[in-house]
Structure 1
Amino acid sequence: MHPYVASLKTLFEQNADPVQAVPMKKYMRDQFEYLGIKTPKNVELQKEFFEKSGFPSLSDLDTILRDLWSLPQREFQYVAVGLLGRFSEQLPAKFIKTIEYLLVTKSWWDTVDSIAGGTVGVHFQRFPDVREKYLAKWRASDNFWLRRTTILFQLNYKKETDFDLLCEIIRENLNSKEFFINKAIGWSLRQYARTDPKAVKAFVKSTPLHPLSRREAMKHLEK
């Protein structure tokens, strides 16, 4: 284990709250272990740690992220996602392999969505060739978390959103029965409706969306 991670691990374990860990684990459907450190305390501990230890070097980032991901308690994955976000504008093109690893390992909405709408979105804007290669790969994947990422990576693009591309990807997933795909479709459309509500209304009207997707997409448009 990288010394940086070992030091962080010690700090977090010293602040564990087993009582809080029970409902936190239950909220995530018992998929992950928790130390019981809720978000405000987590943020406070990270601030304390970073002030003392600084941020890791870019050359160590891959090792540190993978070490954090290997720990059983979910709080360490939250730290990893935050670190990844801090480095989004500095990552080399090849870091997409690490990003993909984080997306497909210990996958759940709490980490995937942050990475998809954050780091992946930035990375694809910075490296068009990477975007072309990995979008094609992920769109065809059997892993629905990767397909969810292709739906969500433009969440923060606003006027820079390639709406035609988003519509293509949505159409590819119209027959999905997966909750997280149908939810993502609605979310992506609802988000883009802030930029172009007419386009979203027209797409929803002309497309046989899953009821969940339609409901999410039109949530603020029908008021």
Structure 2
Amino acid sequence: MSVTVPRSDLADVIMERLTTTYPRAADPERAAQAMAYMKNIAPFLGLPSPLRRQLSREVLAGTPRPDEADCTAIALRCLQLPEREYAYFAVDYLRRHVRRCSSGFLPIARHLVTTDPWWDTVDALAAHVVGGLVAADPGLRTEMDAWIGDEDMWVARTALLHQLRYKDATDTERLFAYCLRQAGHPDFFVRKAIGWCLREYAKTDPDAVRDFVERERGRLSPLSVREALKNL
């Protein structure tokens, strides 16, 4: 997908601060450890999460609330930088300001999901950004219906996880249908996501999840079943 970074004065200010503040605290030894742990998905600066969040607060101090163009510019510019912590900053920023974005932001969210994808960015984007967009505009459910069948496993995982925080607002029929749609997927991350979204929904309706798993046990993978029933 080709995307255009919109002009944003706010993004200019934040990116200038960010690319000055984060590198000052870089730790090469931690960076090497993080890169190995994350299967070499990207280079790292080596910022532990508490320090990174503290630095992010310093970067954002005194800045105004963004509009959608600002969110788009900041997220896309962060993902153009190689070190993974910049992607984390983008995800955190979008989580905080997803209500400032319209349903038209969904293609940008998909671009973020599919850019150097791994669970560390995809899962937060799924539950807090894509999930927030769909909650605000239920018309986007049809997009999720397309995403669940996508050849890109991270897009399918996003569809599975987008209702993760919905609780009583969960579309149970869709949740279960999505799980069955990908029940035979060969990849660990999709099978794990099936179990995870079921386990999370079980906190709201344990009987529904238990009944679904027992009914469809023959179609679900052992991993998905084990994860789904972990707390039941």
- TM category, shorter: over 0.9
Match of 1:218 in 2: 229
The alpha-carbon distance between structure 1 residues 72 and 91, as it changes in their structure 2 partners (threshold 3 A), is same
Match of 1:85 in 2: 95
Cα shift readout 1:144-175 (whole Å, capped 9, x = no counterpart): 11111111111111111111111111111111
Shift of 1:142: 0.2
Shift of 1:6: 2.9
Calculate the TM-score normalised by the size of structure 2. 0.90
Match of 2:76 in 1: 66
Match of 2:178 in 1: 169
Match of 1:136 in 2: 145
Match of 1:202 in 2: 211
Question: How many Å separate the matches in 2 of 1:154 and 1:123?
Answer: 11
Unaligned runs of 5+ in 2: 6-10
Shift of 1:26: 1.1
Calculate the TM-score normalised by the size of structure 1. 0.94
Letter in 2 for 1:215: R
Match of 1:154 in 2: 163
Q: Check if 1:99 corresponds to 2:109.
A: yes
Q: Check if 1:30 corresponds to 2:40.
A: yes
- Equivalence map 1:105-144=2 (5 Å): 105-132=115-142, 134-144=143-153
Shift of 1:51: 1.1
Shift of 1:137: 2.2
Question: How many Å separate the matches in 2 of 1:107 and 1:181?
Answer: 13
Question: How many Å separate the matches in 2 of 1:117 and 1:47?
Answer: 22
Q: Check if 1:19 corresponds to 2:29.
A: yes
Shift of 1:33: 0.4
The aligned length equals 220
- The 10-residue stretch of structure 1 (170-179 or 45-54) with the greater mean CA deviation from structure 2: 45-54
Unaligned runs of 5+ in 1: none
